[in-house]
Structure 1
Amino acid sequence: MEKVLMKGNEALAEGAIRAGCRAYFGYPITPSSEIAEYMARKYPKIGGVFLQAESELAAINMVYGAASTGARVMTASSGPGISLKQEGISFIAEAELPCVIVNISRGGPGLGGIQPAQSDYFQATRGGGHGDYHTMVLAPASVQDMMDFAMEGFELADKYRIPVMIMAEGTLGQMMEPIILRDPVTPGYEKPWATTGCKGRKPNVITTLHLPPEELEQRNRYLKSKYDLIKAREKRAETFMTEDAKLVLVAFGLMSRVAKRAVMEVRKRGIKAGLIRPITLWPFPDEHIVEAAENGAKLFLSLEINMGQMVEDIKLALNGRSRVEFYGRIGIIPNPEEIVGVVMQIAEREGL
Structure 2
Amino acid sequence: MGKVLMKGNEVIAEAAVHAGCKYFFGYPITPQSELVAYMARRLPEVGGLFLQAESEVAAINMVYGAASAGVRVMTSSSSPGFSLKQEGISYLAGAQLPAVIVNIARGGPGLGNIQPAQSDYFQVTKGGGHGDYHTPVLAPASLQEIVELTKDAFDIADRYRTPVILLGDGMLGQMMEPVEFTEGTEIRKFDKPWATTGTRGDGTPRTITSLDLDAESLEKRNWELQRKFAAILENEVRFETYLTKDADYIMVAFGTVARITMNAVNKAREVGVRVGLIRPISLWPFPEKPFLETRGRVKGYISVEMSAGQMVEDVRLVVEGHAPVDFFGRTGGIVPTQEEIFEKIMMAARGVTV
TM bucket, shorter chain: over 0.9
Alignment of 1:81-96 (within 5 A): 81-96=81-96
Partner of 2:97: 97
Q: Is the Cα contact below 8 Å between 1:197 and 1:203 reproduced in 2?
A: yes
Report the CA distance between 1:350 and its aligned residue: 6.0
Q: 2:230 aligns with which of 228, 231, 242?
A: 228
Report the CA distance between 1:30 and its aligned residue: 0.4
Q: Is the Cα contact below 8 Å between 2:237 and 2:282 reproduced in 1?
A: yes
| SS class of match (2:4) | strand
Q: Is the Cα contact below 8 Å between 1:18 and 1:185 reproduced in 2?
A: no
Partner of 1:4: 4
Q: Is the Cα contact below 8 Å between 1:60 and 1:85 reproduced in 2?
A: yes
Partner of 1:248: 250
Aligned amino acid, residue 26 of structure 2:
G
| SS class of match (2:141) | coil
Offset from partner CA, 1:9-54 (integer Å, 9 cap, x none)? 0000000000000000001100111111001011122111000000
Q: Is the Cα contact below 8 Å between 1:144 and 1:180 reproduced in 2?
A: yes
Partner of 1:159: 159
Distance, in Å, in 1 between the alignment partners of 2:126 and 2:197 is 32
Distance, in Å, in 2 between the alignment partners of 1:155 and 1:273 is 35
Moved over 3 A (4+): 199-202
Backbone CA RMSD of aligned residues: 1.3
Q: Is the Cα contact below 8 Å between 1:53 and 1:59 reproduced in 2?
A: yes
Q: Is the Cα contact below 8 Å between 1:20 and 1:185 reproduced in 2?
A: no
Greater mean deviation of Cα atoms: 337-346 or 168-177: 337-346
Q: 1:346 aligns with which of 331, 345, 348?
A: 348
Q: Is the Cα contact below 8 Å between 1:13 and 1:147 reproduced in 2?
A: no
Report the CA distance between 1:341 and its aligned residue: 1.2
**Where do 5+ consecutive residues of structure 1 fail to align?**
none
Report the CA distance between 1:288 and its aligned residue: 1.4
Report the CA distance between 1:188 and its aligned residue: 1.0
Partner of 2:275: 273
Q: 1:333 aligns with which of 322, 332, 335?
A: 335
Q: 1:288 aligns with which of 287, 290, 293?
A: 290
Greater mean deviation of Cα atoms: 183-192 or 203-212: 183-192
Aligned amino acid, residue 269 of structure 1:
V
Q: Is the Cα contact below 8 Å between 1:75 and 1:102 reproduced in 2?
A: yes
Report the CA distance between 1:153 and its aligned residue: 0.6
| SS class of match (2:96) | coil
TM-score normalised to structure 1 length: 0.97
Partner of 1:239: 241
The count of aligned residue pairs is: 350
Partner of 2:194: 193
Distance, in Å, in 2 between the alignment partners of 1:231 and 1:209 is 26
Alignment of 1:289-328 (within 5 A): 289-294=291-296, 296-328=297-329
Report the CA distance between 1:242 and its aligned residue: 0.5
Report the CA distance between 1:185 and its aligned residue: 3.2
Q: 1:203 aligns with which of 181, 205, 217?
A: 205
Greater mean deviation of Cα atoms: 334-343 or 320-329: 334-343
Q: Structure 1 residues 211 and 199, CA, compared in 2 at 3 Å: closer, same or farther?
A: closer
Aligned amino acid, residue 254 of structure 2:
F
Greater mean deviation of Cα atoms: 107-116 or 207-216: 207-216
| SS class of match (1:349) | coil
Q: Is the Cα contact below 8 Å between 2:90 and 2:129 reproduced in 1?
A: yes
Alignment of 1:51-66 (within 5 A): 51-66=51-66
Alignment of 1:130-145 (within 5 A): 130-145=130-145
Distance, in Å, in 2 between the alignment partners of 1:298 and 1:181 is 42
Partner of 1:213: 215
Matched, 1:113 2:106: no
**Where do 5+ consecutive residues of structure 2 fail to align?**
none
Distance, in Å, in 1 between the alignment partners of 2:42 and 2:231 is 36
Offset from partner CA, 1:75-112 (integer Å, 9 cap, x none)? 00001111110000000001111010000000110000
Greater mean deviation of Cα atoms: 168-177 or 140-149: 140-149
TM-score normalised to structure 2 length: 0.97
Report the CA distance between 1:203 and its aligned residue: 2.4
Aligned amino acid, residue 132 of structure 1:
D
| SS class of match (1:31) | coil
Q: Is the Cα contact below 8 Å between 2:27 and 2:54 reproduced in 1?
A: yes
Aligned amino acid, residue 246 of structure 2:
D
Distance, in Å, in 2 between the alignment partners of 1:243 and 1:251 is 17
Q: Is the Cα contact below 8 Å between 2:200 and 2:206 reproduced in 1?
A: no
Distance, in Å, in 2 between the alignment partners of 1:111 and 1:146 is 26
| SS class of match (1:114) | coil
Partner of 1:179: 179
| SS class of match (1:223) | helix
